Amino acid sequence: MSQTGGHADFRDNKDLPVNPTDPLTYWEKYYVVMVADGVPEVTKRSREILRHGAMQIKITSGGGVSSLYDPLDVFEYTMDEIRAVVEVAENWNTYVLSHVMNDKGVRKSAEAGVKSIEHGFFASEETLKLMKEKGAWLSPQPLLFEDFNFTDPIQLKKLKQETDAVDELYPKAKKIGVNIGFGTDQLFNPAAAANQGALLARLGKWFTPYEVLKIATSENARLLELAGPRHPYQEGPLGVVKEGAYADLLLVDGNPLEDLDLVANPEENFAIIMKDGKIYKNML
């Protein structure tokens, strides 16, 4: 959910002002994004999102790369608007996550009660300390400039700023001890799923193999469990290997605790892939 002119406002300029007889865009009709402004409207849209079965509510509180109309330094939504979304989420026993990169947006989002910061590349040490104090999570991505194929000069400039900041963020976050999750931000392209292991292996630049695997498994499970009764894995515990837990298991040909790069090539190195107790790959 985005404010007008925010990161998830993908309308063309010729679509504004909004046509009152057909106010929703294609993106909104199929619940990919939703544009909402003001406390009453963000409250209503948040309730609609949860009504559709959402596990959490994601907002945009800062500029992004894929959007053309919001520079990276922009702080999006007012504090009252963000607090309103957080209150709706908390009433549904779940939480709010936010796309935001700039330091002000990260800090203000955490102050308003957002529990997970998606990206956060320009967060200062002071802001990361605030996040730790509030028990918030940081979910950045170890992205490289070459990972994307943008052609617009505005997007390319923003992408360079973003990827240049990655190498500074992870060491700061590790030193401060803020909760760290793992995600890829690879959307709308099924082929990108094949790169998830490679992205995970990149974390070895800043963390030990044990720390990396812990982030991707039990730490991510802790983050998902912030959704309480809303998360879809209620039949058993997450992020552990024990009887009654969710049987999402990988058998690796080799020891990723010694060679993290093994996870970068699942086709060759994953002997068994099990999801929810069902085996999808068995090379034994």
Mapping DSSP to helix (H, G, I), strand (E, B) and coil, where does residue 272 land?
A: strand
Distance (Å) of CA 230 to CA 11, 52, 95:
31, 12, 10
CA pair distance 157, 203, nearest whole angstrom: 24
| Residue found by looking up tokens 């209503």 in the block | 44
**Residue in 42, 108, 40 with CA at minimum distance from that of residue 75:** 108
CA pair distance 65, 157, nearest whole angstrom: 9
Residues 6+ apart with CB under 8 A from 164: none
CA pair distance 19, 102, nearest whole angstrom: 32
CA pair distance 252, 259, nearest whole angstrom: 11
Cα 159 → chain centroid:
17
Residues of the chain with CATH 3.20.20.140: 13-241
**β-bridge pairing 270-275 and 249-252:** antiparallel
CA pair distance 225, 145, nearest whole angstrom: 32
Distance (Å) of CA 30 to CA 52, 98, 111, 175, 186:
11, 20, 31, 41, 19
pLDDT tens, 17-38?
Answer: 877 767 788 888 888 899 999 9
Mean pLDDT of 182-195: 79
Q: Is 262 or 236 the better-scoring residue by pLDDT?
A: 262
Q: Is the pLDDT of residue 69 over 90?
A: no
Q: What percent of the chain has pLDDT over 90?
A: 76
pLDDT tens, 133-159?
Answer: 999 999 999 999 988 888 899 999 999
Which stretch, 61-75, 119-133, 181-195, has highest mean pLDDT? 119-133
Q: What percent of the chain has pLDDT over 70?
A: 99
The answer to whether 42 touches 115, Cβ cutoff 8 Å, is no
CA pair distance 72, 61, nearest whole angstrom: 10
pLDDT tens, 242-262?
Answer: 998 988 999 999 999 999 999
* Element of type H or E holding 58: strand 57-60
CA pair distance 134, 228, nearest whole angstrom: 18
Give the pLDDT band of residue 188 (cuts 50, 70, 90): low
pTM of the model: 0.93
Q: Is the pLDDT of residue 110 over 80?
A: yes
* Element of type H or E holding 128: helix 125-134
The CATH number of 13-241 is: 3.20.20.140
39-43, 108-112, 148-152, 248-252: which range is least confident on average?
148-152
- In the predicted model, what is the mean pLDDT of the chain? 93
**Residue in 113, 105, 103 with CA at minimum distance from that of residue 136:** 113
pLDDT tens, 200-219?
Answer: 999 999 999 999 999 999 99
